Structure 1
Amino acid sequence: MTIRIGTRASALAMAQTGMMADLLAKKSGQDVEIIPITTEGDRNKASLAEIGGTGVFAAALREALLAGECDVVVHSLKDLPTQPLPGLAIAAIPKRADARDAVCARDGFTLETLPQGARIGTGSPRRQAQLRSRRPDVEVLDIRGNVDTRLGRVASGDLDAVILSVAGLTRLGRTEAITEYLDLSSWPTAPGQGALALETRAGEEKLVAALDHGPTRTMVESERGVLHRLEAGCAAPIGATAMIEDGMLFVSARVYRPDGTAHLTSSHALYVSDSAEPSVEVSARIADELLANGAAEFAPLGGQS
């Protein structure tokens, strides 16, 4: 049997899918074939806010899976809508990579040392809000493009810096471009960032179940649970961070005003063994607290992407 894995055709998607294909071949003993698929997010170069959030990257992959064109699809979990799609299942979430964001700036600058008026590029509404909060004096540009394109704009002098995920840079072998790693406590990242999701048709989860990493699933489901309960689209300015230490699940989430002038934060913890559904329980506590404090009026939530 040959297991067919569908993926976006970008360099990063192909790199991370190649990692999963190698691991799956080793674990299953089956042949694995990679099927590149072009998504609307790849074709349309408008801003993510204009084309409906990052869910546009997942739609074509899911359609190909439902149509039987492949057996598994690999998503960056942060690009996957929190609303389940009938007929499909997230069969495996492998061990998570580094969830942090990184500054990639000219001349070795960090976020604090970039000069006043520096031009910083990112297509993420969350990162844009965080930049405006931390450095209201800089110019934030809404950009699209793959990692090499974005880094190239810094190298050419068009931009002074870009903000990218550490996991993506690592998977592409481009960590030499990083001038600063942003700490999760002060710069929370997208729910599920750094994690991959392997999706199959419902009932066929066994194809990739051996790649599932339980602690990672618990952590990222906690982060995504906050997003889901707030009814926030994938492109909403929300950061969330979860970790498990000594059996305790710690989760924190932050909602930003798009202009960066203020934010709301909620943090909760519980022992994983004390709850039948720890991810559901802790994310509900956090989302309810954020809503009670005005999160619904605070940011453009509403509308699953």
Structure 2
Amino acid sequence: MTSRIRLGTRRSALAQAQSGHVALALEKVSGRAVELVPITSEGDTNRASLSEIGGVGIFATSLRESLLRGECDLLVHSLKDLPTDVPAALTIAATPRRADARDVIVTRDGTPMHELAPGSRIGTGSPRRIAQARIRAPRVTAVDIRGNVDSRLERVRSGDLDAVVLAAAGLSRLDGDPLHGLFAEPMGLAEWPTAPGQGALAVETTADASPELMEALAALDDLDTRIAVTAERAVLAGLDAGCQAPMAAHATVEGDNLRVRAVVYAPHEEWRIGIDVTEALNGGYIRQNGSSNGADAADGADPISAAREMGFAVARRLLERGAADLLPRERS
């Protein structure tokens, strides 16, 4: 096949940058040219707070409709923005190796977040980040913001905000130096876990895509990343909460084991419910807080199924500890 592959992407600079990385990799493995097809999503035109409009699918729905209409051959999403329910007609054909999953706090002078002066204004529209900021620096004021990376950074540069919270992966994927003299403080994942799928991309196509395209996309898939994000998204799905819920989940493959850390935050108070679990992907035992529980072990049929079941088990434990009282229900 020599025809171009059409890759649908949101119009933002960050979306096109990360789609461009996938396009280059796909050209190498397929031997075909890849053309970016910009698509406008609701999330790009609706300026309301994500917490108000729900956030579920607002960055993905228009892209998926274009894919199903045949206007493009595949899509690239930020996985953290993708609903956990994938339509039957579509499939996530690849999850390339994940970039830095951490958040960063960007300031003008490099002041650590916990040392920001009382009343400092920190910009973020994420309920999860707002809750984490309340715990890390109780005296700061969270300001709900929307907009692309450049506009958010400019509000810090101009003095309108004292800090903003951004994904480290987004900054790393933009060309040049988007900080331009600003300072970024990386937040450790142990004390500041991030959204399920953060730092990872999802390459989505139709379930009946050509074998040639599916084979090329399979070459872009990173198994450790797919295992980790499968577990993270299963936690989110098991909690029946949307992408804007005040929760975090981060998983890592450590040898033959999968470690999942998940936290649900109280939306207006400085407390949280968390769990930290390690399970052998080959069907071994779960180690939680130094104890084992063979009844919760995955059956080891395959690592993806094991990761999914582990994520659901983590969600059940969080719900048993009272997480349901802290979470909004997912809206379609």
Does the C-alpha gap of structure 1 residues 69 and 207 become closer, same or farther in structure 2, counting only changes over 3 Å? farther
Instruction: Please say which of residues 90-99 and 255-264 is displaced more in the overlay.
Output: 255-264
1:183 correspondence with 2:188: yes
Alignment of 1:25-44 (within 5 A): 25-44=27-46
1:236 correspondence with 2:263: no
**Which residue pairs with 1:245 in the alignment?**
254
Deviation digits for residues 194-241 of structure 1 (CA, Å, limit 9, x no counterpart): 000000000223352211111100000100000001101110011111
Question: Helix, strand or coil for the counterpart of 1:56?
Answer: coil
Does the C-alpha gap of structure 1 residues 87 and 218 become closer, same or farther in structure 2, counting only changes over 3 Å? same
C-alpha separation in 1, matches of 2:46 and 2:124: 16
Which structure has the larger Rg over C-alpha atoms? 2
Match of 2:280 among 271, 276, 280: 271
Does the C-alpha gap of structure 1 residues 178 and 87 become closer, same or farther in structure 2, counting only changes over 3 Å? farther
1:197 correspondence with 2:225: no
Cα offset for 1:286? 0.8
**Which residue pairs with 2:85 in the alignment?**
83
Assess if the C-alpha contact under 8 Å between 1:234 and 1:304 holds in 2. Answer: no
Assess if the C-alpha contact under 8 Å between 1:95 and 1:195 holds in 2. Answer: yes
Instruction: Please say which of residues 53-62 and 202-211 is displaced more in the overlay.
Output: 202-211
Assess if the C-alpha contact under 8 Å between 1:100 and 1:167 holds in 2. Answer: yes
Cα offset for 1:260? 3.8
Cα offset for 1:31? 1.1
Does the C-alpha gap of structure 1 residues 260 and 163 become closer, same or farther in structure 2, counting only changes over 3 Å? farther
Assess if the C-alpha contact under 8 Å between 1:55 and 1:79 holds in 2. Answer: yes
C-alpha separation in 2, matches of 1:187 and 1:283: 19
**Which residue pairs with 1:303 in the alignment?**
330
C-alpha separation in 1, matches of 2:64 and 2:52: 21
**Which residue pairs with 1:132 in the alignment?**
134
Deviation digits for residues 275-300 of structure 1 (CA, Å, limit 9, x no counterpart): 22221221122111100011101232
Cα offset for 1:271? 1.4
TM-score by length of 1: 0.97
The runs of 5 or more residues in structure 2 that have no matched partner are 284-299
C-alpha separation in 1, matches of 2:232 and 2:239: 11
Amino acid at match of 1:266: I
Instruction: Please say which of residues 189-198 and 106-115 is displaced more in the overlay.
Output: 106-115
User: Identity over aligned residues, as a percent?
Assistant: 53
Q: Which runs of 4+ in 1 moved over 4 A?
A: none
1:291 correspondence with 2:319: yes
Assess if the C-alpha contact under 8 Å between 2:116 and 2:137 holds in 1. Answer: no
Assess if the C-alpha contact under 8 Å between 1:91 and 1:208 holds in 2. Answer: yes
Assess if the C-alpha contact under 8 Å between 2:54 and 2:331 holds in 1. Answer: no
C-alpha separation in 2, matches of 1:69 and 1:8: 14
Amino acid at match of 1:289: R
Deviation digits for residues 154-195 of structure 1 (CA, Å, limit 9, x no counterpart): 000000000000000011143664431000000000000000
Assess if the C-alpha contact under 8 Å between 1:102 and 1:178 holds in 2. Answer: no
TM-score by length of 2: 0.89
Amino acid at match of 2:205: T
C-alpha separation in 2, matches of 1:254 and 1:39: 29
Cα offset for 1:259? 1.5
C-alpha separation in 2, matches of 1:220 and 1:115: 36
1:146 correspondence with 2:174: no
C-alpha separation in 1, matches of 2:268 and 2:208: 44
Question: Helix, strand or coil for the counterpart of 1:284?
Answer: helix
C-alpha separation in 2, matches of 1:289 and 1:113: 34
Paired residues, what number? 304
Amino acid at match of 1:272: L
Cα offset for 1:267? 1.6
C-alpha separation in 1, matches of 2:85 and 2:164: 30
**Which residue pairs with 2:19 in the alignment?**
17
Cα offset for 1:266? 1.1
